[in-house]
Amino acid sequence: MKERIKKLQKEKDVAILAHYYVDGDVQEIADYVGDSFYLAKTATKLKNKTIIMAGVYFMGESIKILNPEKTVYMVDIYADCPMAHMITIKKIKEMREKYSNLSVVCYINSTAEIKAHCDVCITSSNALKIVSKLKEKNIFIVPDGNLASYIAKQVKNKNIILNEGYCCVHNLVHLENVKKLKEEYPNAKVLAHPECKEEILKLADYIGSTSGIIAETLKEGDEFIIVTERGIRFEIYKKAPNKKLHFADTLICRSMKKNTLEKIEKILTEGGDELKVDDEIAKKALIPLERMLELAG
């Protein structure tokens, strides 16, 4: 099936993009695999007129908004990130009324409608850089409260306002499990995603995006305690098969696992559900996304 997919995508000039959390066999046939920022940025440089996105909805949606002339298919149009919906436009409007000198910053894990009401977009790999560059004193970060609280600890000269959203996968990490692993493997560095709760991040030696975590495992050290979704192991084992990885909990993002080779082959042979974004919303949501690309450098 992998060979058939590669042949079909060449014939049809389709680029396949995948996130590190999808299954290894899907990552294997993808042309580009990366974190959310890499995927959004890469899509703007592609010559292919059609993109198949193996990830979750907000990833495909951001690619479509940044490249409206391209045809974008989600491998599974129902692969959604629950966190993307954990903020309302009403709440953003209330904050705009309450605070002057405010910037509303949306994590890329948000809907296009939310992005359309925000000033700048961030991902876990560029959040600190971008928030530090903003001139406003008050920064409302949506939807992820854990990421926002991590930024608040690092960027001390801003008033970071938190929202109550969270990732239902990273929120499941048990403090006791991380502590136990640390005792068991005292030489292993703890690498965690900023979507984890503050109590977990306190135990981490490194906090960063999926690609940041992968890069850390390629540096010195033979074993690591990884606190993020398990799909990340495919890339690490590909690049460094001898490293030992200890996962704090069995974290599985069910939406990411909806991406399968069968569905990709079906899109390439029969077509699929094309991802569409309302024109007015897309025009407004493009502003924070382009600002992210500009500020992240």
Give the nearer residue to ligand SF4 in terms of CB position, either 56 or 204: 56
Q: Which does 30 bind (CB under 5 to 8 A by kind): ligand 13P, ligand SF4, none?
A: none
Q: Which does 168 bind (CB under 5 to 8 A by kind): ligand 13P, ligand SF4, none?
A: ligand SF4
Give the nearer residue to ligand SF4 in terms of CB position, either 82 or 221: 82
Q: Please report the DSSP string for 2-66 in residue order.
A: HHHHHHHHHHTTEEEEEETTS-HHHHHH-SEEE-HHHHHHHHTT---SEEEEES-HHHHHHHHHH
Give the nearer residue to ligand SF4 in terms of CB position, either 64 or 170: 170
d(CA 74, CA 273): 7
Q: Which does 82 bind (CB under 5 to 8 A by kind): ligand 13P, ligand SF4, none?
A: ligand SF4
Phi, psi of 174 (to 5 degrees): -95, 125
Read off the amino acid at residue 218.
L
Q: CB of 194: closest distance to ligand 13P in angstroms?
A: 8
d(CA 95, CA 75): 36
Residue found under tokens 């949606």: 61
Site for ligand 13P in 255-294 (CB under 6 A): none
Q: Which does 126 bind (CB under 5 to 8 A by kind): ligand SF4, ligand 13P, none?
A: none
- Six token digits for residue 294: 């500009």
Site for ligand 13P in 116-135 (CB under 6 A): 123-125
Q: Are 76 and 98 in contact (CB under 8 A)?
A: no
- Six token digits for residue 86: 């954990």
Q: CB of 246: closest distance to ligand SF4 in angstroms?
A: 19
Give the nearer residue to ligand 13P in terms of CB position, either 5 or 118: 118
Residue found under tokens 């974290």: 251
Q: Which does 23 bind (CB under 5 to 8 A by kind): ligand 13P, ligand SF4, none?
A: none
Residue 210 makes contact with ligand 13P by CB under 6 A: yes
**HEC profile of 263-274:** HHHHHHHHCCCE
The correct pick among 167, 248, 285, 286 for binding ligand SF4 (CB under 6 A) is 167
Residue 110 makes contact with ligand 13P by CB under 6 A: no
Residue 229 makes contact with ligand SF4 by CB under 6 A: yes
d(CA 31, CA 16): 5
Phi, psi of 83 (to 5 degrees): -60, -30
Q: Where along the sequence are the contacts to ligand SF4 (CB under 6 A)?
A: 56, 81-83, 109, 167-170, 195, 229, 253, 255-256
Q: Where along the sequence are the contacts to ligand 13P (CB under 6 A)?
A: 35-37, 109, 123-125, 167, 193, 195, 209-210
